[in-house]
Structure 1
Amino acid sequence: MADTTTNYPMIVPLPEMSAARKAEVADLLVGAIDLHCHSGPAAMPRILGHTEAFRMAEEAGFKALLYKDHYYVGMPHCAVLKDIYPDSKVELFSGVALNNASGGINPHAVDHAIKLGGKIVWFPTFAAKNHIEAYAAKSFPKTAKPMLPPIPLTVLDANGKLTDDTKQICDLIAEGDIILAGGHLHVSELFILFEEAKKRGVKKMMVNHPSYIIGCSDEDIRGLVALGAYMEHSICMFIPGRAKQHETEDLIHMMEVAGVDRTILGSDLGLTQAPKPVDGYRMIVSDLLDHQVSKADIRKITSANAAGLLGLAA
């Protein structure tokens, strides 16, 4: 996320809530699903590890947690945790991000991830040409140790057509019936990618943080939803912390544009100078209640819609 300020502690605490509000929020988070948990170990600095993120989700009654790392698949971590805590009711998932560390837009990496039980493929994030160009003149949070500079990635060839590797990846995603996530590709690439993916039988498509780096207008959101995509909004961008970019009213507006049935909240938390993931959910749910968003709608965007993408009962 954008490093917009450093005027926050390493971990942003949960603000005080009344006993009644705590109970109300706690009830709404039973069955929640986080499709965007950035716990560690990771090359990027993180404020909690996979085990703590899992235990916090378990204590809050979450239905599922999906680990996202920009550089490695997380399915082995999920398997180890489930071996250690076999009685846990929280489902654990992960996938693969198609950055340079995974070979870029690499069908072999996708095939491997699916065979390991991966539930999502993120197209390039930090290595996306769009991301690199967006941060060419401004800073972006650094990895804990310096890494090789990224090679810019795009799903398009020199003629503006989808590459053969991208098409093969769409076929693999369709066959595996898993989620195709747009990563940090520009919205202009997403339309081309999602249109072809739909033709090839991909049924689960998601735009990550459409208001950040992707470049989505309201019209773009409507167009992508018409193709069958879900809009995943990063909680970290609407609550206190260094990644905050919007107010709750902005989230509500984008929910109205896409429709509640096509909106998902993912924490995108684990980064420094921000709340922990479950606390992020508590904050945004409380804010949405303050703004008179119905409990039914909150359950859809925190649980039911994501459950459908993971093939879980709502």
Structure 2
Amino acid sequence: MGTSQENREQARGLMAGVDEAAAARVLKGALDLHVHSGPSTMPRQLDHMQAAEEAIAAGMRGVLFKDHHYSSAPIIPMMERLIDKPDFAMYSGLVLNNSTGGFNPYVVDAQIKMGAKLIWMPTAQSANHIRSSHRKSRLVSNVKLLDSPLLSVVDELGNVLDVVKQILDQIAEAEVILSSGHLHVWEIWKLFDEARSRGVKRLLINHPMYGLHFTYEDIAEFAKLGVIVEQSAAMYVDSRFNVYSPKELKEHIDAAGVANSSIGSDLGQVDNPTPVEGMRQAVKLCLALGYSEAEVRTMVVDNPARLVGLAN
């Protein structure tokens, strides 16, 4: 792993050799399931409406808004009325942090019935996130909230909590997506084994190599179970969040295989590319790394569409 500046320079050099028209072709119809637009507790460079409008201008098919501390699911019907693009999909979900109710099946029930498409396990208030952030990694928020109890999906014996099992049943019944959030890989194995036994079909892991303590073997084994492994564009492209080289991007994708990989921008923060620009750069970087247009479309079009239940 090189420095962020070295990684960004390598990425810029590779992307410069990719035809813009090819990148535009691949991006048409893409879905970004990891958009950090605002409002938020942290500064954002664009709001949800602007993020949607930019994606529409790029010919994308849809976006999913993520905030660590609230769900935008209830406002999406109003956004749909204002944007008036029936062929463009907007989604949101609920992150199970203490700021949104934690492991509260009543909140999960209400949000699913208001249209939440994805339930993330705890992120910023997970035990793993808090412990992994003690050296001020990029997992740290730049906004100080009340100190939070450390959330884990398992008890002191490593058994999945009964209330988490209840939430998994809700996810299975509604056929929405379960994301591992920022749990430790050991917790994720426990969680996903339980989820699969309860009929959860749509399983997603976000940025497994960053902060979640995955090995390549873990990624490969999850992929064999049909889990979609999402890589965050922000960590590979010309972004201040860059921590990985282009070579590492290829290694991370290949660990899961194209058939079980997706790419989300994980962008929307100030002083970074916009979500659409981040996706465009990720597409160009993948093409430069030797993936075919069809393979990149699998990762940015087909697999995200499959997760949210859109027909290809």
Q: TM-score, normalized by length of structure 1?
A: 0.91
CA distance in 2, matches of 1:142, 1:295: 35
Tell me if structure 2 keeps the 8 A contact 1:58–1:88.
Answer: no
SS across alignment from 1:174: helix
* Partner in structure 2 of residue 257 of structure 1: 255
* Partner in structure 1 of residue 274 of structure 2: 276
Q: Structure 1 residues 199, 20: closer, same or farther in 2, change over 3 A?
A: closer
CA distance in 2, matches of 1:54, 1:295: 24
Q: Please point out which of 302, 306, 309 is paired with 2:307.
A: 309
CA distance in 1, matches of 2:134, 2:191: 25
CA distance in 1, matches of 2:102, 2:135: 24
* Partner in structure 1 of residue 205 of structure 2: 207
What letter corresponds to residue 232 of structure 2 in structure 1? S
Q: Please point out which of 106, 115, 118 is paired with 1:117.
A: 115
What letter corresponds to residue 229 of structure 1 in structure 2? V
What letter corresponds to residue 53 of structure 1 in structure 2? A
* Partner in structure 2 of residue 188 of structure 1: 186
Q: CA deviation at 1:105?
A: 1.6
Tell me if structure 2 keeps the 8 A contact 1:261–1:301.
Answer: yes
* Partner in structure 1 of residue 124 of structure 2: 126
CA distance in 1, matches of 2:246, 2:307: 25
SS across alignment from 2:19: helix
CA distance in 1, matches of 2:144, 2:18: 47
SS across alignment from 2:124: coil
Tell me if structure 2 keeps the 8 A contact 1:44–1:142.
Answer: no
* Partner in structure 2 of residue 292 of structure 1: 290
Q: Structure 1 residues 134, 164: closer, same or farther in 2, change over 3 A?
A: same
* Partner in structure 2 of residue 10 of structure 1: none
Q: Please point out which of 172, 175, 178 is paired with 1:177.
A: 175
* Partner in structure 1 of residue 66 of structure 2: 68
SS across alignment from 1:94: strand
Q: How does 1:210-249 map to 2 (within 5 A)?
A: 210-249=208-247
Q: CA deviation at 1:76?
A: 2.2
Q: Deviations over 1:14-63 (max 9, x none)?
A: 99x88982222111111000000000000011111111100000001111
CA distance in 1, matches of 2:239, 2:75: 27
Tell me if structure 1 keeps the 8 A contact 2:133–2:139.
Answer: no
* Partner in structure 1 of residue 29 of structure 2: 31
Tell me if structure 1 keeps the 8 A contact 2:18–2:288.
Answer: no
Q: Please point out which of 129, 132, 135 is paired with 1:137.
A: 135
Q: Which runs of 5+ in 2 are unaligned?
A: 6-11
Tell me if structure 2 keeps the 8 A contact 1:57–1:90.
Answer: no
Q: Please point out which of 86, 93, 96 is paired with 1:98.
A: 96
SS across alignment from 2:248: helix
Q: CA deviation at 1:274?
A: 1.3
CA distance in 1, matches of 2:228, 2:243: 21
What letter corresponds to residue 242 of structure 1 in structure 2? R
Q: CA deviation at 1:69?
A: 0.5
Tell me if structure 1 keeps the 8 A contact 2:234–2:241.
Answer: yes
SS across alignment from 2:33: strand
CA distance in 1, matches of 2:103, 2:95: 9
What letter corresponds to residue 25 of structure 1 in structure 2? A
What letter corresponds to residue 227 of structure 2 in structure 1? A
* Partner in structure 2 of residue 87 of structure 1: 85
CA distance in 1, matches of 2:202, 2:18: 37
* Partner in structure 1 of residue 147 of structure 2: 149
What letter corresponds to residue 164 of structure 2 in structure 1? T
Q: Which runs of 5+ in 1 are unaligned?
A: 8-13
CA distance in 1, matches of 2:160, 2:294: 39
What letter corresponds to residue 72 of structure 1 in structure 2? Y
Q: Deviations over 1:89-145 (max 9, x none)?
A: 210000000001111122112111110111100000000000000112325577675
Aligned length, in residue pairs: 305
What letter corresponds to residue 158 of structure 1 in structure 2? E
SS across alignment from 1:36: strand
